[in-house]
Amino acid sequence: MGKFAFMVHPLNVADVSRKFPIAKRLPDRLVEKMIQYMPPVKTSYISGIKSAYAETEGWFVGCPLTTRQMLTLPEDFVLKRIIQTGKLAEKLGAQILGLGAMTSVVGDAGITVAKHLNIAVTTGNSYTVATAIEGTKKAAELMDIDFPNANVVVIGATGSIGSVCARLLAKEVRYLTLVARNKHKLERVASRILQEEGLAVKITQDISRALRDADVIVTVTSAVDTIIEPEHLKPGAVVCDVARPRDVSKKVAEMRDDVLVIEGGVVEVPGEVQFNFNFGYPPKIALACMAETMMLAMEGRYENFTLGRDLTVEQVQEISRLAKKHGFKLAGFRSFERPLTLAEIEKIKYNARRKAGMKLHA
């Protein structure tokens, strides 16, 4: 049976406090200073992942740095800590390691980490892309959006996930806008799409301007703070938030009952999986990046599958094929860390039409 490990880390100090309650009484910066030099930890043992073709088991391994530390501490230090955690995975017997959350973003997106380990490494981003696009299209359909003719926006379009999302979406839509901070990188992605698909896309560094008329939004930045606020979105918009930490402000949930925000990359795992670790999802539900590591272990493909910032369309298609083979599938919709029912989506659609009508007659 193939064995895997998946690397996790606290997104913020609140995550540390759930593990060590005493941290609630201490200043955030002091807590971060204390965990900075803690050794990597075996977080839990994972069992019960099984399809008609194979089964696997593995571990969550924890790198004790918060998202803020991953982004602000010296890169060499952070990479060293990630590699130390990878060595723990090796010691446990894993044959492939998945990099979760910011551990897949730091430095060169896993390439340096893979060079220092004796096991295969993947960021899991290929399956994250596949599920984000599948979920976005399904959500748009439920909101009665004509997807091929919708105004579609990708935020973070120059990143490893964002750029391949944009290239795949360009195959299916007529109106596509790419948003990122770096104009030259945006121009490169737009030029590639023009060459591959013959589609002239818009580019901008202005998020609020891009979102003004957006029907469908895929957002996948590595920003520490939220970047999409209630006033940015038009009634009836669909937002797929793939980022961790999330890009969409919680104020959107509080103030906008007329827009549909879904979490990207949430899947159901085949078998009677026991994660033995609460990472915020119901039983059998995992993130797509975790699932990619699992299915590669089930296939015995101990290879560096998704690394670096240049994901390929072929990788996304291949991992989609493996997912179907082993029974990994898109989980029901979730929004702001809770399940979303079809009745709630119908209510959002009703509210959107009502508000759009009010504007029309104002």
The strand pair at 55-62 and 202-204 is best described as unpaired
For the record, the structure tokens of 104 come out as: 């897949």
In the chain, domain spans: 2-126+268-330, 127-266+333-356
Residue 142 tokens read as 């439920």
294: nearest Cα among 90, 49, 9:
49
CA distance 122 to 100: 9
SS3 assignment, position 305: coil
The answer to whether residues 102 and 305 touch, using CB atoms and an 8 Å cutoff, is no
pLDDT digits (tens, 9 = 90+) for 3-28: 999 999 998 888 877 777 777 777 88
Give the pLDDT mean for 69-81: 94
Question: How far apart are the C-alpha atoms of 58 and 97, rounded to whole Å?
Answer: 10
- HSE-up (13 A, CA, CB side) for residue 139: 33
Tens-digit pLDDT profile for residues 194-248: 999 999 999 999 999 999 999 999 999 978 789 999 999 999 999 999 887 789 9
Q: What is the structure's pLDDT at 360?
A: 53
pLDDT recorded at residue 358: 64
CA separation for the pair 345, 66 (Å, rounded) = 34
What is the model's pLDDT at position 359? Answer: 61
- Stretch (H or E) spanning 183: helix 183-197
Q: What mean pLDDT do residues 72-92 have?
A: 96
**Which has the closest alpha carbon to 60: 111, 129, 10?**
10
First CA to last CA distance, the chain: 64
The count of other CB atoms within 10 Å of the CB of residue 230 is 15
Q: Which long-range contacts (CB under 8 A, 24 or more apart) does 80-83 make?
A: 81/40, 82/7, 82/106, 82/113, 83/112, 83/113, 83/116, 83/117
Q: Which of 132, 140, 137 is nearest to 349 (CA)?
A: 140
Answer with the residue of higher pLDDT: 257 or 246. 257
pTM, whole model, 2 decimals? 0.85
Reduced to 3 states (helix: H, G, I; strand: E, B; else coil), residue 212 is: coil
Q: Residue 29 class from Cβ within 10 Å (0-12 exposed, 13-18 middle, 19+ buried)?
A: exposed
| Angle 205-209-213 from CA coordinates, rounded to 5° | 130
Q: What is the mean pLDDT of the chain?
A: 92
Residue in 324, 322, 281 with CA at minimum distance from that of residue 2: 322
Mean pLDDT is lowest, of 14-18, 58-62, 102-106, 192-196, for 14-18
Buried b (16+ CB within 10 A) or exposed e, 276-306: eeebebeebbbbbbbbbbbbbbbbebbebbb
Q: What is the pLDDT of residue 117?
A: 97
Residue with tokens 């029901």: 332
Q: 301: Cβ–Cβ under 8 A, 6 or more apart, which residues?
A: 96, 120
Question: Could you confirm whether domain 127-266+333-356 is CATH 3.30.70.20?
Answer: no
Segment 293-299 mean pLDDT: 97
CA Rg value for the chain: 20
Rounded Cα distance between 356 and 232, Å, is: 15
